[in-house]
Structure 1
Amino acid sequence: MPILTTKFYIPVPRFNGVVRSQLLERLKERHDRRLTVVSAPAGFGKTMLVSQWIASCKQPVAWLTLDQNDNDLARFLAYVVAALQTIEPAFGLEIIQRLQAPELPSTETLLLLLLNQLATIEQHWILVLDDYHWLTAKPIAAAMSLLLERLPPQLQLVVISREEPDLPLARLRARHQLTELRVADLRFTVEEAHQFLSQTMELDLLVSESQTLADRTEGWIAGLQLAAISIQGQQASSLLIDGFTGNHRFVLDYLLEEVLQQQPAEIQTFLLITSLLDRMCGSLCEAVLAAAPASGAATLAYLERANLFIVPLDHERHWYRYHHLFADLLRQRLATSPQGLDLPTLHRRASSWYEAHGFGIEAFRHAAAANDFAQVERLIDQQISLHFRGTVTTLLDWLATVPKSVFEQQPSLWWRHASLMLMLGQTTGVAEKLDAAEAALQSYPNDHQTRNLIGQIAATRAILALAHYQFELTLAQSQRALAFLVADNVFSLTSAYWTLGFGYLAHGDRAAARQALTKAVSLAQASGSTFIRILATIGLGQVQESENQLYQAAATYQQIIELAGEQPLQLIYEAYLGLARIYYQWNQLETAERYAQQSLDLAQQYDRLIDRSIICELWLVRLQLARGANDQASSKLAQLAQTVRQQNFSQRLPEIITTQIGVLLAQAELQAAAELAQTIDAPLIQAKVLLAQSNAAAALELLQPLIQQFQAKDWLDQQLHGLILQALAQQQQGQKAQANRSLQAALALAEPGGLIRIFIDEGLPLKQLLRELIGRGLGNAYARQILAAYAQVPFIPNPQTALIEPLSERELEVLGLIAAGLANQAIADQLYLSLYTVKAHVRNIYAKLSVNRRTLAVAKAQELDIL
């Protein structure tokens, strides 16, 4: 976002201006108030009063003059931070980085960053927001209310506004945290009016004449100034003063006529034409007027010398603006000018100058004022491709003012409106605008331009469908987009290949997904679209993960983070989460947790109506489970489940239920786990529950056709998990050779990616199977690496669940007495059992622990933490 530094210049008080001592004292006495509001209509000297006060302040001051372009939260905050950087250049660098990202963080996140940064200020700062009345957007009002509620005492906020600002004034007033100056305070007294007219405006008037003008203008400073200009050089000034009547509007109209009529015709023309500019410099004026070089700067200098309501915006006298009220009246005259001025041409010239000098939003505004829709659309494309923050809201505001008849004549505007809404995360009303665009196109010729717009509409529908998890529609609209888009529409083609790739990925066609996403990345690189390139590359990383290519996937995710640079884009939360999953599988839990937390920090910047943070929190729960913190994991899952149901995040519910089943299995609550498993379509999880229930036959019956399906679809990650569970089921069935073969096949699939945790998470039965495999000489170095990793597991909860079949309570009693060294007869005597019954318990214990001697049974039980 280009920053206009003239907005930070503090107006310099007139050297011969009226010093308003009483008001200045009020401001000085209350410098500790949280908020100061100076509110009055135009022309009451609000800005000059505050500039006088600032000139005598010893505290550092940041000044920001606002305008209509700042009525966007991102742009407003960017300028606030940039203003504060005039005091401390390093202030708010992280905020600026986040505001420059294609996706805007949440308001809460931005304000938290701002407040934390303000809390580090060591001395008292003052921030002045001039012309605050331009800010009418509700997000800004909400942000300012929150900011004022938590504002640290080191910062005092000063708001200058023509209107009552939309701020919590009543609450601040009740807390004695507010200083207010209103119209009644700002009116010139007779003494101040006389001083202004004689000293500032250099008129030789009697006090009584000054009083007459003060009474007639009711102390309105702009009215006095206009009166003074009209009186200057008049012979019968007393008659003019005596005949001076009417309210402000009529007085001003009359005086404006007097002022303009005293100026040469070329100056009148200059004033009228340049009034369409919010601010001006010499070359901009020359461009709009199509005038000779250097004439613009010379005329601006003349206007300043003539005191014709022109305000310098910098110390170099390069940028100026007209007094707001003066500008308003000039624009009224310009709109009804009898001179036959071609306003669209003037606006087009201004737009061209702004575009050439890097001010995209200003260029857009003037193109829109000229109704130059071709220029408007080109500038929109330019702004979107550059991802200027603060632009999208401005474009949407303009589109909201465009008559429906224009949309009917220009159907592409419907599509652009819908696309811009999606960029801000707004989905309501998008489909209706796309429908309107397609309906309007029915009467258009079937040429390449119409077909291209049909393709763009389809590409946008694909994004909307993807946001709603409508994957069939995502695929259909992506394919339709590719069928209609023209070859040089690289941006929309890239978007269509990206949504196509994710549609294929959701349907399990991973080869097609890889092909589409690779194409999207290639097109994004060619077009320079970093945003789509990141999205498509994330998809490629997920495909690599699904193929157990964890080393390649990790490199892909790292590439995404590097591609994003220092801009903390919300969307790269998926790259950090991918790294968390990978390092989890590599059994590097601390690194995995760090990446998962980074992912959550980014995901929480999304709107609360989006479910991204739920995904990250689920992975943090997985890490809690890996550390044996079952109770904490269970509590957190209950909270997440409640949030998912309240927010209707139905897509997240199966993941939560799957994780809850893992907790229940770890807590040996097998019945509850089995009942929960029946509520979701997750065959592998259901097989895992059957194994925990020692129902290996049912598990094998479920797994064998599944594994064949996974092999046919080339779903390597699912195939790996299925083979591991199949090996455990065969072990339970006593099918040693088959179990070894299944485990070897699983190891072959996992070894290229170095997966470890997928084995460890199956508990001690898998460890036993690995031991036997290695003991038979069938295990390689990778198998020994996994076996060694078991030693790094700090705690394996409820080891009974790791047995082929859990020990009963009586068997645990018998096992304890065996460990105490008692013989079978002594155990029978102590437990009041027959010797035959004790021997039966001992045989069962041996079978369940897979041992054949008492000493081995005790050692195995100790290893499992059963004793």
Structure 2
Amino acid sequence: MPIPILATKLHLPQPRPNGVARPHLIARFEAAQHCGLRLISAPAGFGKSSLLSEWQANTQQQVAWLALDEGDNEPSRFFSYLIHAIQTIVPTLGVAALRLIQTQPNAIEQALISLINELSGRNETINLVLDDYHVIENHALDQALSFLLEHLPAELRLIIATREDPNLPLARLRARGQLHELRSADLRFSLAEAQQFLNNAMHLELSGAEVAALEARTEGWIAGLQLAGLSMQHQTDRPSFIASFTGSHHFVMDYLLEEVLQHQPPAIQQFLLHSSILNRMCGSLCDALLPNNERTGQSTLEYLEQANMFIVALDHERRWYRYHHLFGELLRQRLQRSLAQQTTPSLEALHIRASNWFEHNELEIEAFEHAAAANAIERAERLIEGKRVPLQFQGALLPIMYWLQGLPTSVFNQHPSLWVTAASVWLATGQVNGIEQRLQAAEQALATHEQGPKEQDLIGRIAAIRGTLALSQNDANAIIAQSERALAYLALDNLSFRTSTVWKLGYAYQLQDQRNAAKQAYEQAINIGQRSGNLVTVLLASIGLGNLQESDNRLTLAAATYQQVLSACSQLGLPAANCGAELGLARIYYQSNQLDLAEQHYQRALQAAQLLQHTDREVACQVVKARLLIAQGQLEQASLLLEQAQIAAQQHRHSTQPAKIAAEQVRIHLLRGQIQAAQQLAQNHNLAISQAQVYLAQQQPSAALAVLKPALEQAQANGWHDHQLWLSSIQCLGLAALGEHGQALQMLTKMLLHAEAKGFVRLFLDHGSAMQNLLASINPQSAQAAYRDFLLSQFAHENPKQLYPAAPSLLDLLSQREREVLELIAQGHSNQAICQQLHLALDTVKGHNRRIFEKLQVQRRTEAVARARELGLLSQ
């Protein structure tokens, strides 16, 4: 869900027409444009924003501006605004990064990488100003910005204005010459600047001595000089005022605020105090806040600007304004004191008026924030739901968390939806601990309420959240139970929860190998998601369909599905879907023996997996990488990687991965000749294919076939085509090892027909020299000869390993009597002549012929002779 963007936060502020020019500071600032970070750090009122405003109005460089406020501590909101600021210069920059942030708020680093890559190579540099960075208190944002600074391209330069030093690697940047700093000592007005400001801008006509006294009292503090100038406009005894103008900044500000306010008309005083609750304001908002004011909100704002009343225009049209932060803080302190002496309007009433205006103008987050400030529980509870999507998915996670943290348990119990919202919000931030306790508290609270439609929907949400918790542990039974409960209770129009719940059902069915049920659930999720605009769930369900297509051996179709997902991800951005698609393509390219392409997709899958928390995707990537390493003969590296994957799977309880890890470890043991270790591992995990491979390595083909038979019957009964193919490949080798060469070749020939159509190569190569020998025995005149030759050519580049003892040759498989019969056939003897020469019955000779033809994969005498000569089975 896109985060609403207030355009006025991105507008370049205009310099005041009567401001004091500061060319020496501008020159210093311009000279430092090579630095990655230019920092202006000084207390409130030292002219940081004014200096930047003057600079941007005169520079030839491209400048993007972002005015920060407390709400920007939400990472997704902060970086959405940051990218929109850059887009005021180049609208096409950062589209993919922005979509990634909007759909996966935790993927900040990946979004920054995308943005950095886009910026690199541009012809012009963008200067990005972050004004009032001191409002940022979220350490995660400091870390993300540090990452950006560490990898900052030459095409982007950061400028930060702040009241306090940010938690960034300033020392390191300073040592590298990548930091330029302006501080309060640089920004304070000189005597000449103070005189120009007080006499030219404020029109006070002070003597040089009086200016010097004020400059000394304020130590060049610009806001102090401005407040003093406003107060002195109404003073008859200026020397006495200047003499008494002393004390720390806080006391001076309190005093001067009293002086400024008391000389304003009552209506202006009331306007200043009441509007101080707003972070930003426009005329119609002020009219709603003060309906009985004697003048319009717009005209009052214009009057305040003309009177230098610490008000800042946020746009060129002068529609939106804000107070100087320090001035606004003092106004709010004064408001608290004044409201304590009145009965109407209360502070809560003012916030409700503001909330109503913001809601009417479809600014849902601001409407909620004022409702929360008014402690209007029911209103805030309703606004959190949003008109289409809950506010926590619109970038308001932190405001909602802060509000909920301040509520007593009694309020949660009176409003069970708040327990559910809290669980959803904390889960969205990855804080799993405590979620179940909140859900239980919600259920207890619901038990005391009448069970209307709203309560029924809450029960469904509770179940849906529990299903998400079970998803991270691949607990299929819990996912299904909770998801089915969720769908039974969720309101029909609650498409956000219903779509994701149906997708979770598909995932659980797939874990249980209920592939038809999984397919139906994925298709339903895609259908609902497309109708409701829930593209995130559409992509995740599409990944599930791709997995099923892989399982059905439709590799080409699966690859197309994954490519479609990646195409959507490039615009939307979603690490979970991106990882799933890249990993699927890595598996498919591995099967087609395009190992370089498989490696590329594995690397991209791993990058996406590392952005995901509480999933088994990184372990799944390691398993694929291990297969690549084994294929390249790097057994030591593969073994170490699998050990790491095994430890991670155990620590995080990734239940579906240990068996896959063990299967690859069995292959490594067999390639190393460590048969006992392989046997133990295969038995511990009850892996039919691995157990059969071990039996073949122990030269026990009958035992291998016995293990394969029930597994193959189960795969055939359930339509598990991937299992059937792999089991059949082992069965071929088992039959050949048992001496049933003809049957083995007949089965292998059928496999080739299927494998060629689907693109399987590693299916054969991974069995090593035993499969190579069996392939070489296939009649080169058969229909599958071309693919057989292609596979043998792949073996030539493979340096195949020996997983199992070499299968007996055809010469060994032919009995002594069969070899005698074959020699006589080659000499042109008829069956009757062979009977007479070998003293055999005719039926016996025909039986020998049938077995010879079967083993040689031929149907006629002439074909048998030709095939025997090709294989060197004849004495002449």
The TM-score normalised by the length of structure 1 is 0.83
RMSD after superposition: 3.9
**Alpha-carbon separation, structure 2, partners of 1:528 and 1:782:** 48
Checking the alignment, whether the CA contact within 8 Å between 2:133 and 2:160 is kept in structure 1 is yes
Structure 1 residue 856 displacement after superposition: 10
Corresponding residue for residue 739 of structure 2: 734
2:484 is the alignment partner of 1:479: yes
2:607 is the alignment partner of 1:606: no
Checking the alignment, whether the CA contact within 8 Å between 2:280 and 2:322 is kept in structure 1 is yes
Q: Deviations over 1:549-580 (max 9, x none)?
A: 44554454455445546223112221333344
**Alpha-carbon separation, structure 1, partners of 2:519 and 2:154:** 55
**Alpha-carbon separation, structure 2, partners of 1:149 and 1:470:** 40
SS of equivalent to 2:285: helix
Structure 1 residue 378 displacement after superposition: 4.5
Checking the alignment, whether the CA contact within 8 Å between 1:197 and 1:228 is kept in structure 2 is yes
Amino acid at match of 2:10: F
Q: Deviations over 1:693-728 (max 9, x none)?
A: 332011012111222333344433223322332232
Corresponding residue for residue 71 of structure 1: 73
Corresponding residue for residue 433 of structure 2: 428
Checking the alignment, whether the CA contact within 8 Å between 2:645 and 2:661 is kept in structure 1 is no
Checking the alignment, whether the CA contact within 8 Å between 2:32 and 2:180 is kept in structure 1 is yes
2:313 is the alignment partner of 1:312: yes
**Alpha-carbon separation, structure 2, partners of 1:448 and 1:472:** 27
Corresponding residue for residue 664 of structure 2: 659
Q: Deviations over 1:380-430 (max 9, x none)?
A: 443746995644344334433444443232222222222223334432332
Shift in alpha-carbon separation, 1:660–1:110, aligned structure 2, 3 A:
same
2:693 is the alignment partner of 1:692: no
Q: Deviations over 1:167-216 (max 9, x none)?
A: 23344445555444433444434443332211111112223333343344
Q: Deviations over 1:233-282 (max 9, x none)?
A: 44444444444444433333333233233333332332223222212222
**Alpha-carbon separation, structure 1, partners of 2:220 and 2:617:** 58
Shift in alpha-carbon separation, 1:357–1:100, aligned structure 2, 3 A:
same
Structure 1 residue 457 displacement after superposition: 0.9
SS of equivalent to 1:795: helix
Structure 1 residue 138 displacement after superposition: 0.9
SS of equivalent to 1:566: helix
2:455 is the alignment partner of 1:450: yes
Shift in alpha-carbon separation, 1:794–1:773, aligned structure 2, 3 A:
closer
1:137-156 aligned at under 5 Å gives the runs 137-152=138-153, 155-156=156-157
Which residue of 682, 685, 706 maps to 1:680? Answer: 685
**Alpha-carbon separation, structure 2, partners of 1:528 and 1:447:** 28
Structure 1 residue 481 displacement after superposition: 2.3
**Alpha-carbon separation, structure 2, partners of 1:566 and 1:243:** 63
**Alpha-carbon separation, structure 2, partners of 1:354 and 1:294:** 21
Structure 1 residue 89 displacement after superposition: 4.3
Corresponding residue for residue 629 of structure 1: 632
Identical-residue share of aligned pairs (%): 44
Shift in alpha-carbon separation, 1:664–1:331, aligned structure 2, 3 A:
same
Corresponding residue for residue 844 of structure 1: none
Amino acid at match of 1:139: A
Shift in alpha-carbon separation, 1:26–1:584, aligned structure 2, 3 A:
closer
1:177-326 aligned at under 5 Å gives the runs 177-290=178-291, 295-326=296-327
Checking the alignment, whether the CA contact within 8 Å between 1:630 and 1:666 is kept in structure 2 is no
Shift in alpha-carbon separation, 1:380–1:290, aligned structure 2, 3 A:
same
2:488 is the alignment partner of 1:468: no
Shift in alpha-carbon separation, 1:589–1:215, aligned structure 2, 3 A:
closer
2:366 is the alignment partner of 1:366: no
Tell me the matched-pair count.
811
Amino acid at match of 1:728: L
Corresponding residue for residue 9 of structure 2: 7
Corresponding residue for residue 721 of structure 1: 726
2:583 is the alignment partner of 1:577: yes
**Alpha-carbon separation, structure 2, partners of 1:783 and 1:344:** 84
Corresponding residue for residue 159 of structure 1: 160
Amino acid at match of 1:659: E
Amino acid at match of 1:49: L
Checking the alignment, whether the CA contact within 8 Å between 1:759 and 1:786 is kept in structure 2 is no
Q: Deviations over 1:586-641 (max 9, x none)?
A: 5666665554444344334335x64423323432443455xx4112x641452353
Corresponding residue for residue 98 of structure 2: 96
Amino acid at match of 2:162: S
Checking the alignment, whether the CA contact within 8 Å between 1:187 and 1:220 is kept in structure 2 is yes
Gaps of 5+ in 2: 810-851, 858-863
**Alpha-carbon separation, structure 1, partners of 2:465 and 2:165:** 41
Checking the alignment, whether the CA contact within 8 Å between 2:439 and 2:462 is kept in structure 1 is yes
**Alpha-carbon separation, structure 2, partners of 1:708 and 1:211:** 99
Which residue of 797, 800, 811 maps to 2:799? Answer: 797
Shift in alpha-carbon separation, 1:137–1:705, aligned structure 2, 3 A:
same
Q: Deviations over 1:135-161 (max 9, x none)?
A: 110111112333334445665433221
Shift in alpha-carbon separation, 1:53–1:646, aligned structure 2, 3 A:
same
Checking the alignment, whether the CA contact within 8 Å between 1:667 and 1:797 is kept in structure 2 is no
Which residue of 335, 339, 351 maps to 1:347? Answer: 351
Corresponding residue for residue 46 of structure 2: 44
Corresponding residue for residue 811 of structure 1: none
Amino acid at match of 2:375: N
Corresponding residue for residue 85 of structure 2: 83
**Alpha-carbon separation, structure 1, partners of 2:154 and 2:563:** 41
Amino acid at match of 2:160: V
Q: Deviations over 1:66-119 (max 9, x none)?
A: 111211333323333333344444444443343233354252x34444444555
**Alpha-carbon separation, structure 2, partners of 1:538 and 1:601:** 17
Shift in alpha-carbon separation, 1:225–1:860, aligned structure 2, 3 A:
farther
Shift in alpha-carbon separation, 1:660–1:260, aligned structure 2, 3 A:
same
Amino acid at match of 1:630: G
Checking the alignment, whether the CA contact within 8 Å between 2:392 and 2:400 is kept in structure 1 is no
Q: Deviations over 1:739-782 (max 9, x none)?
A: 4675577679878856554345445545665676768x9x7x57
Gaps of 5+ in 1: 808-846, 862-867
Q: Deviations over 1:626-672 (max 9, x none)?
A: xx4112x6414523532552573553343233223334545666555
1:505-520 aligned at under 5 Å gives the runs 505-520=510-525
1:13-52 aligned at under 5 Å gives the runs 13-20=15-22, 23-24=25-26, 26-27=28-29, 30-52=32-54
**Alpha-carbon separation, structure 2, partners of 1:563 and 1:126:** 31
Shift in alpha-carbon separation, 1:293–1:258, aligned structure 2, 3 A:
closer
Structure 1 residue 799 displacement after superposition: 5.3
Structure 1 residue 354 displacement after superposition: 3.6
**Alpha-carbon separation, structure 1, partners of 2:36 and 2:560:** 50
Shift in alpha-carbon separation, 1:687–1:387, aligned structure 2, 3 A:
farther
Structure 1 residue 372 displacement after superposition: 3.8
Checking the alignment, whether the CA contact within 8 Å between 2:198 and 2:225 is kept in structure 1 is yes
Checking the alignment, whether the CA contact within 8 Å between 1:283 and 1:293 is kept in structure 2 is no
Checking the alignment, whether the CA contact within 8 Å between 1:634 and 1:660 is kept in structure 2 is no
Shift in alpha-carbon separation, 1:157–1:589, aligned structure 2, 3 A:
closer
**Alpha-carbon separation, structure 2, partners of 1:558 and 1:860:** 46
Shift in alpha-carbon separation, 1:546–1:264, aligned structure 2, 3 A:
same
Structure 1 residue 791 displacement after superposition: 3.5
Shift in alpha-carbon separation, 1:103–1:587, aligned structure 2, 3 A:
farther
**Alpha-carbon separation, structure 1, partners of 2:291 and 2:791:** 78
Checking the alignment, whether the CA contact within 8 Å between 1:74 and 1:390 is kept in structure 2 is yes
Q: Deviations over 1:495-523 (max 9, x none)?
A: 33222222222223333333433333333
Amino acid at match of 2:433: T
Deviates more, 1:314-323 or 1:503-512: 503-512
**Alpha-carbon separation, structure 2, partners of 1:553 and 1:123:** 42
**Alpha-carbon separation, structure 2, partners of 1:114 and 1:178:** 22
SS of equivalent to 1:210: helix
Q: Deviations over 1:445-468 (max 9, x none)?
A: 344433321221111011111102
